[in-house]
Structures are given as structure tokens and as C-alpha cells.
Chain A
Amino acid sequence: MWDYTPIVKDHFLNPRNVGDIPDADAVGEVGSLACGDALKLYLKLDENKDKIVDARFQTFGCASAIASSSALTEMVKGKTLDEALAISNQEIADFLGGLPEEKMHCSVMGQEALEVAIAKYRGHELPTHDHDHDHGPAYPDQEGTIVCKCFGITDVFLKKVIETNHLTTTEQVTHFTKAGGGCGGCIPRIKELIDEVMGGHPQEPRKRPEKLSNMKKMQLIQEVLEKDIRPLLWADGGDLELIDIDGARVQVAFRKACAGCASSGNTARMVEIKLRDLVAEDIVVEEVFA
């Protein structure tokens, strides 16, 4: 059982401001049924269209998602839009006396809904993308490129959450945003984003080449394995060996900790996603036991 604070329990059992505002000035919607939580936030402004006079919410989700939404509506009332925008997800969690780390994504969802609502009200229609992912975007108005295909989370959003919460591990990023919590294929990219944000040495996201000769493709596969993938595995005490490349079929064998690791079923998938991103779309990674 989760160790929820009495304040979380209170806001879950007696949520404040559930409902809608028919003539709301701003509405923000994030999340989806597939993702397992979603929040629709309504804001009503005063005559000067400056101060938030009323806030209502509807939430699909667990106890901490409902409590975070309830807390958020209480926190924004009486604030100007700019003051409301300054509320961080950590402040929502603090208001509740803290959240289990695995549930921090609930506070992030609240903060995000607020941001979306205000941006829409101000006419900053954030660019949307034709996302290719399994579940539909969690944050449809979020700009950037999708990193986590399982939960539809973009790089721009991840960087913001990493920066504001000073996250240093991929597990933390998963707890705060869900990204990486599905197939795990994006974990290497999340590591890169953490390095970019926290390490302070920004990298240009690399794009895969338009067209490759067979020889170039083989070279690039080897390069990506050496420079991008093996160092990630080393960090966890594992390793892999390239066995063969046959057209788009890449055969690898896992070594050290990766051979026999509980989550290594995901590792081959991670390698495939990485190679597809950086080399060619049709690459298939096969694990062999040589």
C-alpha cells in the first residue's frame, strides 16, 4: 500500500472543486485513458482577466492524481495568471505534504494542465505534431519530438521536468513523467536528455541519414553500437557483441550483466529502437547466443 500523507488522503477522499465551469476562460486537458490518468482543468478569471477567481477539475486516475488536481485548484485560486504559471510540480507535491516518488508524475500532470490552459487562453497555440506512438499523446499541446512512444512524452517536456526537479537518473524521470515506464526503449534517449540538461553539454539530436550504401550502413551500425549503446550497457555492468550484419538484420549477443539480466528482454528492443533512429528504419535486431 502506498504511504500517502494525511493531506493526500484528505484531498482524495474529499476533493475540492470537482466539476466544470461552463463559461470558463481557460481549459487545459492532459493525459489519456490509455495512459491511465488524465486531467481536465477549468479556470475562471476576474473582470480584468487577470486573477483566477475559480478553478474546477475532472480527473481520471489514482488517489494521488485526484489529490494533486484538487490541490492545484486550491493553489491557483486568487492568483494572477503569471503567479499561477510560477507554480512548480514540486510545490503541488509540497502542498500535499509530499508524494511517493513513484507518484510524482501526478503532480507533473497538474502543473502541465495549468500551463496548457493558460497558454491556450493567451492564444499561444502550441505546435502539435503528427505523433507516431502507441497510446496517443499524453500532452497533445506539447511541442518537441516524441521520446517515449508508449506514453507520448516529448523531449521538450522531459527537459523541462528534468531541469525543474533536478532529476539525475532515468528511474526518477520515469517516476516524474512515466517516460521509459513502458517498453523502456527510450531510456537511452532519456539518459542523453539528463546529460544535456544536468551535464550542461548540449547535443544536437542526431538524425538518421536519408540514404545509405550497404557499406556505410554497416559502418554506421558499428559506430552507433560502439559509441552510443555499449557505454550505456557498461554503466549497468553489461555489454554486447556485434555478431553479424545481414542487410537490415543485426545480430547481437549480450554479455556480462546483460546476459541473464531480468530486464534484458527490453535491451534488444532498446538497441533496435536506437539503430532505427540513427541508422535505418527497417533494422531488425536479433539476439543470438554465440
Chain B
Amino acid sequence: MKEIYLDNNATTKVDEAVFEEMRPYFCELYGNPSSMHFFGGQVQRKVDEARNRVAALLGASPDEIMFTACGTESDNAAIRSALEVFPEKRHVITSRVEHPAVLTQCRNLTQKGYRVSEIGVDGDGRLDMEELKATVDDDTAIVSLMWANNETGVIFPVEEAAAIAKAKGALFHTDAVQAVGKIAIDMAASQIDMLSLSGHKLHAPKGIGVLYLRRGTPFRPFMVGGHQEKNRRAGTENSSGIIALGKACELAGQYMALENNQVRALRDRLQNELMAVIPNARINGGAAERLPNTTSIAYEFVEGEAILLLLSELGVCASSGSACTSGSLEPSHVLRAMGVPFTCAHGSIRFSLSRFTTDEEIDTVIRELPPIIARLRQMSPFGREFLKAQG
């Protein structure tokens, strides 16, 4: 069975060109970039090139790019560093809808004597900017807010939020793991101090991430040891991963327009046609500004895992905000923070597209999903009541 992969916010296919770029750096060009000999030196030059490519995508300067092992490491490093830089400050601000990479760390900080404020969102997942303004104070060490939400694709006004944080002397970090490669980012025209990205979300392999560190931003390393990454992140460079990420960023720059036109058009067609034929559904964050590739739709009276497994039978890969898929018992914290009613929070399905998504694949989902929802509603006591009431 050929897969129809619409779960690109979970991870992406490694682009063939990216794989070709990294391939020689395993068995042939395996030198350590820190070595003095020519054999390491040629890898070092390729790592430098990759750093330039990542910087170019972000509108950053190459010395502001620090390679890490993943987005989660970048998030951890940013927040921990801020707390070490400002030992007297005991307040951290984040949002209720962050990825666990940020949220778990912040919640753990409450046990270490920090005040942690989680800013709320409205029914469409938009950040409460007034609450943010009222919450930042002189005691705030860092404000960490995601650029775009992984479940709904809702985009936060991070520049505006950064200005609010900076005005009170706090550092500003953004988890941009879902945003990089999908929307244009220009750090040269930004106030953001730190930004996390992850390679496997933009067609590079898993196991490579970046923490962007604005020049002049005070930083205390999370990983200590050798002198790599200008003493900011110890550990032998994942040279093949770095080289792959460089290529992926170069391609992301080239495909940015396509991502915002073609992919957006496919996404819009998918959600519009599904909404037109399936009653009692709602787009999570539908009124907010969203990533061009993501749509999360909540279907009343049915449960997400059942939908996903029926889709999976047809080769369609998506994800759900349902409790049952994660092994937790409550639906996604993002949907709950948005106040999505329980009647449909359990039945939320996220489709996340990529530049590899085709018209035919979208056609298949538009054809196959409505009967799946109808079938599960027919099986559900609440769905049957609803269908009966409708006549």
C-alpha cells in the first residue's frame, strides 16, 4: 500500500537531494571537523557552508547559528541559559499551548522555586497579548512562545511579543520548529533573542537542530565539554546531519513561495471540501492566521483514534488531538486551552501537508474521510441521536 503522508508536522520525508548531500559524510568523508589534518578540514569547510545556508534561510549571520541534536535540546538550552544569565530573576513566561519540549521544562521549574506564567489563548488559539503585557515584569528572566502551533498551525505574533518582553528586560525565545521553512523569517529585522528549529520538520533527517542566538545575547551552555560551536555546545559535530540541514534550508528557501501558494491551495481545498460535506465539524483555529500546510478539524460525536485507524487502512497518515492516540486520557492540552468543547475535542484530526503532497492525494482524502465519519457516527450513540434529530 502506498502511503498518503499528511503528517508532516510530526516529521517529514528526507528530500532526496538532502540525502545525496549528506551521503558521502558517513563512509568516505568521516573526518572530525575539529581535526588539524586535511581530512577533517574538508568536513569543516562543508559544515561552514551548511551554517551559512541555515543563516541565509533565517536572515541571520552564520555565527548566530549553533547546532544541537534536536528542537527539544534547543528549547531546553535557551530557557536554562536565560535562568543562569539572570540568577536573580525568578519568573518565566510561556503559553498554555506550547509543545511539551517547552511546557514540561517550565512546569518543572515551578518545583525549583520559579514563578511560571502560562499565557492563555482565545477560542481560535490566538495568544492573549493583553495578558502577556500584564504578566511580564522586572522579575521575568525569559519569555518563551512558539512561533506556530504544531497541532493547529496557529501563528503567534512573536515579534510583537518579543518587543513586550524586551521592554521589561527579559530575554525572548521562540520555538520555531513548525514555522521554519513554512513561513518567511528574517532575524535581521527582528528583536527575538533565541530561536529553536529542528531538521526533521523541513526534510532533513532526525537528530539535528539549531539554536539561533542573536549576536550579543548572553548565553550559558547546556552541554559542556569540548570547544565545539564556539564553546556554546560541546560534543563532536553531527557533521552529516549539519550538512543535510544546510541543504534542507537552502531548498526550503527555494520552495518558500511554493509552500505558501501551492501547498496552501491544497490545504484550503482539503479543508473547504471536507467542511462542505461533513456536518457538525469545526476548524480548530479557523479564524486565526495559520501555517499554510496545517489544518485541524474537529468532528463531533466521534473519536479520533478510530478515525485515524480507518484512514490508516487506506494508507492515509494523519494525527489526532484525541486522548486515545497518545495513551493519555484527556484530549490535547492545546484544544483544551482553546476551549474546544468535549463533544468534538476527542474527534480532532490534523492534516499537515508538504511540498510533496499531490492533488490526487488530497482527492483521496476528500473522497474517503466523509464516509468514515458517517460510519463512526452511525456507530456512536451520540452520533445516532444527532442523525435522528436531523431526520
Partner of A264, one of B111, B313, B323: B111
Query: Which residues from chain B contact A139 at a C-beta distance below 8 Å?
Result: none
Partner of B381, one of A12, A40, A254, A265: A40
A259 in the interface, Cβ–Cβ < 8 Å?
yes
Q: Smallest CB–CB gap between B165 and chain A, Å?
A: 24
A181 to B118: give the CA distance in the assembly, Å: 22
Once the chains bind, are B342 and A60 in contact (CB under 8 Å)?
no
Query: Which residues from chain A contact B306 at a C-beta distance below 8 Å?
Result: 12, 61-63, 66
Once the chains bind, are B329 and A174 in contact (CB under 8 Å)?
yes
Partner of A62, one of B110, B305, B384: B305
A243 in the interface, Cβ–Cβ < 8 Å?
no
Query: Which residues from chain A contact B379 at a C-beta distance below 8 Å?
Result: 15, 18, 58-60, 66
A91 in the interface, Cβ–Cβ < 8 Å?
no
Once the chains bind, are B113 and A289 in contact (CB under 8 Å)?
yes
Within 8 A of B (CB), among A247-290: 254, 258-262, 264-265, 287, 289
Once the chains bind, are A178 and B329 in contact (CB under 8 Å)?
yes
Given A60-B301, A62-B322, are A260 and B112 neighbors across the interface (CB < 8 Å)? Answer: yes
Once the chains bind, are A259 and B112 in contact (CB under 8 Å)?
yes
Once the chains bind, are B303 and A287 in contact (CB under 8 Å)?
no
Query: Which residues from chain B contact A60 at a C-beta distance below 8 Å?
Result: 301-303, 379-383
Instruction: Please tell me which stretch of A30-38, A116-124, A125-133, A223-231 contacts chain B, meaning at least 4 of its Cβ atoms lie within 8 angstroms of it.
Output: A30-38
Taking each of A34, A59, A61, A102, which has the highest tally of chain B beta carbons within 10 Å of its own beta carbon? A61
Within 8 A of A (CB), among B103-127: 104, 107-108, 110-113
Query: Which residues from chain A contact B346 at a C-beta distance below 8 Å?
Result: 33, 36
B327 in the interface, Cβ–Cβ < 8 Å?
yes
Given A58-B379, A59-B380, A60-B380, are A33 and B301 neighbors across the interface (CB < 8 Å)? Answer: yes
Once the chains bind, are B305 and A151 in contact (CB under 8 Å)?
no
Q: Smallest CB–CB gap between A81 and chain B, Å?
A: 23
B324 in the interface, Cβ–Cβ < 8 Å?
yes
Taking each of A39, A102, A261, which has the highest tally of chain B beta carbons within 10 Å of its own beta carbon? A102
B331 in the interface, Cβ–Cβ < 8 Å?
yes
Once the chains bind, are A287 and B329 in contact (CB under 8 Å)?
no
Within 8 A of B (CB), among A34-73: 34, 36-40, 58-63, 65-66
Once the chains bind, are B323 and A36 in contact (CB under 8 Å)?
yes
A2 to B323: give the CA distance in the assembly, Å: 13
B343 in the interface, Cβ–Cβ < 8 Å?
yes
B337 in the interface, Cβ–Cβ < 8 Å?
no
Once the chains bind, are B111 and A260 in contact (CB under 8 Å)?
yes
Count of interface residues, chain B, beta-carbon cutoff 8 Å: 35
Within 8 A of A (CB), among B373-391: 378-384
Once the chains bind, are B329 and A259 in contact (CB under 8 Å)?
no
A63 to B382: give the CA distance in the assembly, Å: 17
A182 in the interface, Cβ–Cβ < 8 Å?
yes
A20 to B323: give the CA distance in the assembly, Å: 27
Query: Which residues from chain B contact A65 at a C-beta distance below 8 Å?
Result: 303
Taking each of A33, A63, A258, A265, which has the highest tally of chain B beta carbons within 10 Å of its own beta carbon? A33
Can you name the residue of chain A whose Cβ is closest to the Cβ of B312?
A1
Q: Smallest CB–CB gap between A174 and chain B, Å?
A: 7
Q: Smallest CB–CB gap between A4 and chain B, Å?
A: 8
Once the chains bind, are B111 and A258 in contact (CB under 8 Å)?
yes
Can you name the residue of chain A whose Cβ is closest to the Cβ of B109?
A260
Q: Residue-by-residue, is B208-235 near A (CB-CB < 8 Å gives 1, otherwise 0)?
A: 0000000000000000000000000000
Query: Which residues from chain B contact A36 at a C-beta distance below 8 Å?
Result: 303, 322-324, 329-331, 346
A115 in the interface, Cβ–Cβ < 8 Å?
no
Can you name the residue of chain B whose Cβ is closest to the Cβ of A289?
B113
Query: Which residues from chain A contact B328 at a C-beta distance below 8 Å?
Result: 181
B274 in the interface, Cβ–Cβ < 8 Å?
no
Within 8 A of A (CB), among B341-362: 342-343, 346
A270 to B112: give the CA distance in the assembly, Å: 18
Q: Smallest CB–CB gap between B76 and chain A, Å?
A: 13
Can you name the residue of chain A whose Cβ is closest to the Cβ of B104?
A262
Q: Smallest CB–CB gap between B131 and chain A, Å?
A: 20
A101 to B330: give the CA distance in the assembly, Å: 17
7 A-B contacts, Cβ less than 8 Å apart? A12-B306, A33-B301, A60-B383, A62-B304, A135-B342, A182-B329, A182-B330
- Interface residues of chain B, those whose CB is within 8 Å of chain A, are 104, 107-108, 110-113, 301-306, 309-310, 313, 322-325, 327-331, 342-343, 346, 378-384
Q: Identify 20 new A-B residue pairs, CB closer than 8 A, beyond the known A36-B322, A58-B381, A60-B303.
A: A15-B379, A33-B346, A36-B323, A36-B330, A36-B331, A36-B346, A40-B381, A58-B384, A60-B380, A60-B382, A62-B322, A62-B325, A66-B379, A135-B342, A259-B111, A259-B112, A262-B104, A262-B107, A265-B110, A289-B112
Nearest 8 Cβ contacts at the A-B interface: A289-B113, A181-B329, A62-B324, A62-B305, A60-B380, A58-B381, A34-B342, A40-B381
